[in-house]
A and B are shown apart, each in its own frame.
Chain A
Amino acid sequence: MTAVASPLARFLVKVFAWLPLAFAAWYFAAPVLLWPAKLLLELVARLGFADLVTAVEQNAATFTFVTLLKPGDVTGKTAQLIVDVDGLLYSFGLPLFAALVIAARAPRWGRVLALGYAVMVPFIAFGVFADFLKDVTLGAGPLVASQTGFLGWQLEAIAFSYQIGALILPTIVPAIAWLLTHRAFLEQMRQA
């Protein structure tokens, strides 16, 4: 049992040592780390949802979607619905991935770190956008939802995307990215 556990145990100790530092770095660097996700969100909004979203803004780790939707009965007044989404909720896999990569110290780990980050950014953007769509369709009441014009099956797809974007992707993507980039390390660990 010791032979089975020890290389993994040593690796785990390193992961736990790096995890608090990785979380701290992620939290304080989030405005910068999430900036590429903001660019992606702008692109998606412009290309696919121009009739719904006029701008995507970023304030620290929060994304703000400025929409063309009216928030309620505002006859005679001009009002736009603005939706905030917390980017940290969809990016906590970044420190997990960083801790795993740094603890493994595979060759060219810095490059692996950058590659994993690049892979994870679109999934972060996916989760944030699905959260926004869920808010304006399923969470904002019938008056707002009716303005979006989504069909029944599209609402189902939004609900599913939100669930998978919030509950599955933020944790599973870093784990898969780490496995795919550390096959040689895993083999070494098995043979140790």
Chain B
Amino acid sequence: MLTCALRAASIPRGAVPPMIRFFVVFVALQAGLFAAELTPWAQEYFVVPWTNALAAISAWLVTLIDPNVAATGKVLQSTRNGFAVSIESGCNGVEATIVLVAAILAFPASWKRRLIGLAVGIIAVQGLNIVRVISLFYLGQWDLRVFEWAHLYVWQALIMLDVLVVWLVWVRTLPPPDAGPVPAPG
């Protein structure tokens, strides 16, 4: 779909090739959104509440099977042995979400399909991120070396793989760019 959509129209002389346009817009959106995320305003009103909500949701999910867990701010803690994980930048899924948002907005599609892609995609990315937080919480109580490996390398790659897959699935659901109106049956 990527090449289909981006190669579909014949490129007028002097026009920017669609593939180049996609990557330029993607990189620009990515840089802009990431810079915005780092501002104190965004941190106070978006990133911190988002991260706290992530910790609270993770704690709520865990307490369904393990009552010895509590969330305070961005910290998820075991009330049994005191082990705690603090959800920091890079672990709250905000950067992964920014990548997905930039990729969906940069790709040629209708606004309706973009909004559906964003809604479903953000839920998918954040859903897996909650799995990451909970898995790290238990891995840390089991073995700190395994926790470090999973935290620093493996989960980072898996979350980006999730973003890539969600984006590919979304792109595959888009109609071909040269598809005309669907003919009436019969």
Contact = CB atoms under 8 A, between A and B. Distances in A.
Chain A, interface residues (CB within 8 Å), range: 35 or more
Identify whether the interface residues of A are mostly helix, strand, loop, or mixed: helix
Given A4-B173, A8-B168, A190-B1, A171 B159 contact: yes
Given A166-B90, A175-B99, 8 more contacts: A92-B156, A100-B164, A168-B34, A171-B157, A175-B164, A187-B1, A187-B3, A187-B4
B2 A186 contact: yes
B119 interface: no
B100 to A, nearest CB: 11
A4 B168 contact: no
A96 B165 CA distance: 13
Interface in A152-192: 160, 163-164, 166-168, 170-172, 174-176, 178-180, 183-184, 186-187, 189-190
Contact of A186 (B95, B156, B168): B168
Interface of A: 4-5, 8, 12, 15, 19, 23, 88-89, 92-93, 95-96, 100, 160, 163-164, 166-168, 170-172, 174-176, 178-180, 183-184, 186-187, 189-190
Interface of B: 1-4, 19, 23, 30-31, 34-35, 38, 89-90, 95-96, 98-99, 152-154, 156-157, 159-161, 163-165, 168-169, 171-173
Nearest to B99: A172
Contacts of B35: 160
A23 B152 CA distance: 12
B178 to A, nearest CB: 14
6 contacts: A92-B157, A163-B38, A167-B89, A175-B99, A175-B164, A190-B171
A170 B96 CA distance: 12
B169 A5 contact: yes
Contact of A175 (B1, B38, B163): B163
A124 B23 CA distance: 20
Given A89-B152, A163-B38, A96 B160 contact: yes
B60 to A, nearest CB: 27
Identify whether the interface residues of B are mostly helix, strand, loop, or mixed: helix
Given A8-B165, A164-B34, A170 B4 contact: no
Contact of A4 (B2, B98, B169): B169
Contact of B161 (A96, A163, A184): A96
Given A96-B160, A190-B172, A160 B38 contact: yes
Most buried by A among B34, B89, B163, B171: B34
B152 A168 contact: no
Nearest to A92: B153
B102 to A, nearest CB: 9
A121 B95 CA distance: 22
A15 B161 CA distance: 9
Contacts of B2: 179, 183, 186-187, 190
B1 A168 contact: no
Nearest to A175: B164
A12 B161 CA distance: 9
Given A4-B169, A4-B173, A186-B168, A95 B157 contact: yes
A4 B172 contact: yes
A172 B102 CA distance: 12
Contacts of B161: 15, 96, 100
